[in-house]
Chains A and B, each alone.
Chain A
Amino acid sequence: MKARAPKIAPEARAKELQNDLRLKYPDFTVCCAGAKICIRGAFPVLHEGTVLDRYQIEIEWSDSDGVVPLLRETGGRIPWIADRHMSIGGMACLFVPEEWLVRPLEEKTVIHYLDGPVRNYFLWQSLYERGESPPWKDRAHFAPGLLEAYGEMVGMDGESAIRCCLEYLSREQIKGHWPCPCGSGKRTRDCHLAHVRELKSKIPRHIALSALARLTKPAIR
Chain B
Amino acid sequence: MNTKEYLQSVLRSQDLPDDSDELKELQSHRKDVEALLRKHFANSSPTIRYGGSRVKGTLIREYYDLDIICYFLHDDTAAGETLEDIYNNVEKALSTAYYVERKTSALRLKSRDPQSFAKDFHIDVVPGRFTDDKKADAFIYQNAGEKKRLKTNLDVHIEHVKDSGVLDAIRLLKLWKVRRGLRVKQFAFELLIIDLLAKKKNSPLADQLQHIWTELRDRSESPAVTDPANPTGNDLTSFLKAEWQTLSATAGSTLAAIESSGWEAVFGEVEEKTSAQKVAVLRSAAAAVTTPTRPWLPEV
- Interface residue ranges, A against B (CB under 8 Å): 18, 22, 26-29, 31, 40-42, 44-45, 47-48, 50-54, 56-58, 74-82, 85, 87-88, 90, 92-96, 99, 116-117, 120-121, 123-124, 126-127, 130, 132, 135-143, 145-146, 149, 217-220
Contact = CB atoms under 8 A, between A and B. Distances in A.
Contacts of B224: none
A142 B281 contact: no
A177 to B, nearest CB: 36
B95 interface: no
Contacts of A130: 275, 278-279, 282
Contacts of A132: 279, 282-283
Interface of B: 62-63, 108, 110-111, 114-120, 122, 178-183, 246, 250, 253, 257, 265, 268-269, 271, 275, 278-279, 281-289, 291-300
Nearest to B295: A85
A90 B118 contact: yes
A205 B257 CA distance: 45
A138 B296 CA distance: 7
B178 A42 contact: yes
Given A76-B120, A132-B283, A31 B246 contact: yes
A41 B179 contact: yes
A139 B279 contact: no
A142 B271 CA distance: 40
7 contacts: A41-B179, A54-B179, A56-B178, A58-B181, A94-B295, A116-B291, A140-B296
A119 to B, nearest CB: 8
Given A94-B295, A96-B296, A27 B179 contact: yes
A27 B180 contact: yes
B269 A51 contact: yes
A47 B288 contact: yes
A80 B117 contact: yes
Contact of B299 (A31, A52, A139, A217): A217
Contacts of A22: 253
A79 B116 CA distance: 5
Contacts of B63: 56, 75
B283 A127 contact: yes
Contacts of A136: 286, 289, 292, 294
Given A54-B62, A120-B289, A42 B179 contact: yes
Contacts of A88: 118, 300
Given A77-B120, A79-B119, 20 more contacts: A26-B257, A41-B179, A47-B285, A51-B268, A54-B179, A56-B181, A87-B298, A94-B296, A95-B293, A96-B296, A99-B293, A120-B289, A120-B292, A123-B289, A130-B278, A136-B294, A141-B296, A145-B297, A219-B298, A220-B298
Given A42-B178, A141-B296, A127 B282 contact: yes
B297 A53 contact: no
A158 B62 CA distance: 46
Contacts of B116: 79, 81
Nearest to A137: B294
A109 to B, nearest CB: 16
A53 B118 contact: no
B217 to A, nearest CB: 14
Given A85-B295, A218-B298, A219-B298, A28 B282 contact: no
Contact of B117 (A79, A96, A149, A219): A79
Contacts of A74: 181
Contacts of A126: 282
B293 A219 contact: no
Nearest to B297: A141
B2 to A, nearest CB: 22
Contacts of A85: 295-297
B242 to A, nearest CB: 11
